[in-house]
A and B are shown apart, each in its own frame.
Chain A
Amino acid sequence: MNHDTFVIHNRIRALRFGHREMTQQQLADRVGVSRQTVNAIEGGKYSPSLEVAFRLARVFERPLDDVFQCVPTNG
């Protein structure tokens, strides 16, 4: 099988600042994860489950692909 490779980017940091400079802790409390998990997602160190991804999108009142983008990688 030939699979294309992708990397997941997100706009959580920008969206937080667009929502009255919401802190990572405030976002974590609303989504139901730890602040460190929000930090890891923002930094691209952890890809959340679909459930958490949808909860994040709901907090920002945006569609999922406004929060997360799947970008093809070269090679």
Chain B
Amino acid sequence: MGASFEEKSVWIQLVGMTLGLGAYFFVAGRMLLSGVTAMPAYAAVFMVATALMVVFLVAGHLVAALASRPEGRDERDRLIEWKSESGSSWILAVGVLGAVTGMCFSVSIVWIANALLVSLFLSEIAGYVLRLAYYRRGM
């Protein structure tokens, strides 16, 4: 069966986030390993990565909308989103707990900020993968 606009949108978000934030983590990882501890340096890289991601997302959704008429979300789309979020949100919770634990042990704020971003990133990616699995395999 052909993918719905909602499913195509999930693919676009998965690829966009993997490329955009993946590039950020590649650069930020190298900066962390070389001892950069100034937050503004990471913020600049993050803003560039986010801007590129937004451009990709807008372009991707425009192409998808031109290729096939968006049908609008229905109850199945909403249920799939809810089930995927409930199945992936624990990753973000683990990241938050890890960050709080890091603060208790006075870990550098740069490491804590990036750990939070990683957990958010992984949680979103897991959510998109679950959504695609539910779209393809059913619930």
A33 near B138: Cβ-Cβ < 8 Å = no
Instruction: State the total of A-B contacts with C-beta under 8 angstroms.
Output: 43
Interface presence of B9 (CB below 8 A): no
Chain B interface secondary structure, helix, strand, loop or mixed? loop
Question: How many residues from A make CB contacts under 8 Å with B?
Answer: 17
A57→B101 CA distance, assembly (Å):
55
A33 near B74: Cβ-Cβ < 8 Å = yes
A36 near B75: Cβ-Cβ < 8 Å = no
| B1-34 residues at the A interface, CB under 8 angstroms | 1-4, 6-7
B residues contacting A by CB (< 8 A) are 1-4, 6-7, 71-72, 74-77, 135, 137-139
A-B contacts, 29 of them at CB < 8 A, read A28-B71, A32-B74, A33-B75, A33-B76, A34-B4, A34-B6, A34-B71, A34-B72, A34-B74, A34-B76, A34-B77, A35-B4, A35-B71, A36-B1, A36-B4, A36-B71, A36-B76, A37-B4, A37-B76, A37-B77, A39-B1, A40-B138, A43-B138, A44-B138, A46-B76, A46-B138, A46-B139, A47-B139, A52-B75
